Structure 1
Amino acid sequence: MDARLLDVLIGVTGFVVLVILLAVLPLVISAGPAYLIAIILFILFLSGAGYMVNEKIT
């Protein structure tokens, strides 16, 4: 798969994950920590996806 297309797919998927986390986590725990956890999980998702893409390309 083309690396540019893979980057776009990861970005869109990451955005969808972020929106879902922002919608669901405040229902489970209080709003302040929920938003912080959502952002941290989003960063971890993008970092992991980027690492996997770099491993597959090289």
Structure 2
Amino acid sequence: MDARLLDVLIGVTGFAILVVCLAILPMVIPATGAAYIIAIVIFILFLSGAGYMVNEKIV
């Protein structure tokens, strides 16, 4: 698969995960700011893991 297309797919998937987490986590976790911080951490971990896996496949 083309690396540029793979990057776009990862970006769109990451954005979708972020939006879903931002919509659902505040309903599940009653603490005001903790749900948003957890959503951002999940987003960062997803992008980091995806970037690492893509980097391994390209090299």
TM-score range, shorter chain: over 0.9
Q: Which structure has greater helix proportion?
A: 1
Q: Which runs of 4+ in 1 moved over 2 A?
A: none
**Cα separation, 1, equivalents of 2:14 and 2:32:** 21
Q: Percent identity?
A: 78
Aligned residues, how many?
A: 58
- Name the Cα RMSD after superposition: 0.6
Q: Give the alignment of 1:1-58 within 5 angstroms.
A: 1-29=1-29, 30-58=31-59
Partners in 2 of 1:31 and 1:9 — Cα distance? 31
- Cα distance in 2, alignment partners of residues 17 and 40 from structure 1: 11
In structure 1, what is the Cα distance between the partners aligned to 2:44 and 2:33? 17
- How far is the alpha carbon of 1:31 from its aligned partner? 2.8
Measured in 2, the distance between the counterparts of 1:23 and 1:4 equals: 29
